[in-house]
Structure 1
Amino acid sequence: MKQLKEYTIPFVGLKQGIHQFEYTIDNSFFEHFEYDEFNAADVSLVIEFNKKATMLELLFKASGTVNVNCDKTNEPYDQSIESELFLVIKFGDEFNDENEDLLILPHGEFEVNVAQYVYELIVLAVPSKRIHPGVKDGTLQSDILKKLEELSPKEKKNDDQNEETDPRWDKLKNLLNDK
């Protein structure tokens, strides 16, 4: 996977203080990561870049919609997402990204590529169980929903009078009632 150059922030020429970077994320961004779960994406991303003397602080804010397929009916729908990520960048002897909230860059680095963090922020903002809003409120009419309803197990009414039970279990039930 090649790095996306527009997500590389050269921080060496920036003055200390807060800088803001804005991006619009669409499906072409996810094609670089070979991620095809989204039918379409329209996410706006704002990165607040705070340059300090010895470290960098980045606050990622993503909001927008991604078009995904429902897990129940496979119908496409727009899932709204809102997510934030706070990242601290420090400088050390060697590159280290083992901690998800802390990135260590080697001394002498002059730029940072944030594409991987943007990708993870958006993908993890989508719920793991994606249900079409029409399924939740009952407005979606679908052949799949009708078939699921038809094949779902029917509830059986439990009639204690007509059902014979093992007398050993009845004795155990009495233990609960004798308190």
Structure 2
Amino acid sequence: MNQTETYIIPFARLEDGEHVFDYELKKTFFDSFDLTDIRDGQMQVRIDLHKLGGAVWFDYVMKGQVSVQCDRCLDEIIYPLDFSGKAGIVSSGLDEEKEQDDQMMEEIPVEEGAGEVDVSFFMYESILLQLPLQRIHGNNSEGVSMCNKEMLGLLQKYAGEKKEEKIDSRWEELLKYKNIKK
């Protein structure tokens, strides 16, 4: 069976009402995506799918942790995640703007007439969007970076010296006034 077949929800065959789908995402899930930022992970996902006539939407909760590479020292960082939201399954022939509880829902587009949806990429993308853009180790209680000390030393060694910025002589006189307090 294909890895993503596990995450296909056949919403057209479901009766009206609420249906629950539980998933456990592990390393094999994250490895199935090309160019992944996530090295490893352990996530629990619960999808409460609601179907009423032609309308299909779901509430989701994702909890767990993922491992990514530090942008500074290249060591592993583990990010705990806990988030939830709503998403609507939208056919290309339906009105694309759905609103539930005064909160705009995310949309998962499917081709008109499709009776199933693969939620694997939706789950992967939702997890990626919860991660910070810059992924670096934080500082400990003393304010010292928790990055790999050896790598920080190498970065400092090869960073080069900071050159003292020469100030144009035409501006030297104005800089004196900049530092005067009123």
- 1:124 and 2:155 are equivalent in the alignment: no
1:28-177 matched pairs, under 5 angstroms: 28-93=28-93, 101-107=107-113, 109-134=114-139, 137-138=143-144, 140=146, 142-149=149-156, 151=159, 166=169, 170=173
Aligned to 1:65, what secondary structure does the other structure show? strand
Aligned to 1:21, what secondary structure does the other structure show? strand
The CA deviation at 1:170 is 2.6
Using the alignment, how far apart are the partners of 1:5 and 1:165 within structure 2?
66
Identity among equivalent pairs (%): 24
Aligned partners of 1:49 and 1:56 also within 8 Å:
yes
Using the alignment, how far apart are the partners of 1:165 and 1:91 within structure 2?
63
Using the alignment, how far apart are the partners of 1:135 and 1:110 within structure 2?
51
**Count of aligned residue pairs for this structure pair:** 166
Aligned partners of 2:43 and 2:65 also within 8 Å:
yes
Unaligned runs of 5+ in 1: 157-163
Unaligned runs of 5+ in 2: 97-105
Aligned partners of 1:54 and 1:90 also within 8 Å:
no
Q: Would the alpha carbon gap of residues 83 and 35 (structure 1) be closer, same or farther in structure 2, given more than 3 Å must change?
A: farther
Residues 112-156 of structure 1 deviation map (CA, whole Å, 9 limit, x = unaligned): 211121121112222111111357842636112234456576798
Q: Would the alpha carbon gap of residues 122 and 61 (structure 1) be closer, same or farther in structure 2, given more than 3 Å must change?
A: same
Q: Would the alpha carbon gap of residues 24 and 35 (structure 1) be closer, same or farther in structure 2, given more than 3 Å must change?
A: farther
Q: 1:89 is aligned with what amino acid?
A: I
Looking at CA atoms only, which structure, 1 or 2, has the larger radius of gyration?
Answer: 1
Using the alignment, how far apart are the partners of 2:87 and 2:74 within structure 1?
35
The CA RMSD measured in Å over matched residues stands at 3.7
Using the alignment, how far apart are the partners of 2:52 and 2:9 within structure 1?
15
Aligned partners of 2:31 and 2:39 also within 8 Å:
no
Q: Would the alpha carbon gap of residues 147 and 15 (structure 1) be closer, same or farther in structure 2, given more than 3 Å must change?
A: same
Using the alignment, how far apart are the partners of 1:168 and 1:155 within structure 2?
19
- With structure 1 as the length reference, what TM-score do the two structures score? 0.71
Using the alignment, how far apart are the partners of 1:59 and 1:48 within structure 2?
5
Using the alignment, how far apart are the partners of 2:78 and 2:136 within structure 1?
11
Aligned partners of 2:3 and 2:29 also within 8 Å:
no
Using the alignment, how far apart are the partners of 1:84 and 1:154 within structure 2?
46
Q: Would the alpha carbon gap of residues 167 and 139 (structure 1) be closer, same or farther in structure 2, given more than 3 Å must change?
A: closer
Q: Would the alpha carbon gap of residues 149 and 21 (structure 1) be closer, same or farther in structure 2, given more than 3 Å must change?
A: same
Task: Report the counterpart of residue 99 of structure 2 in structure 1.
Answer: none
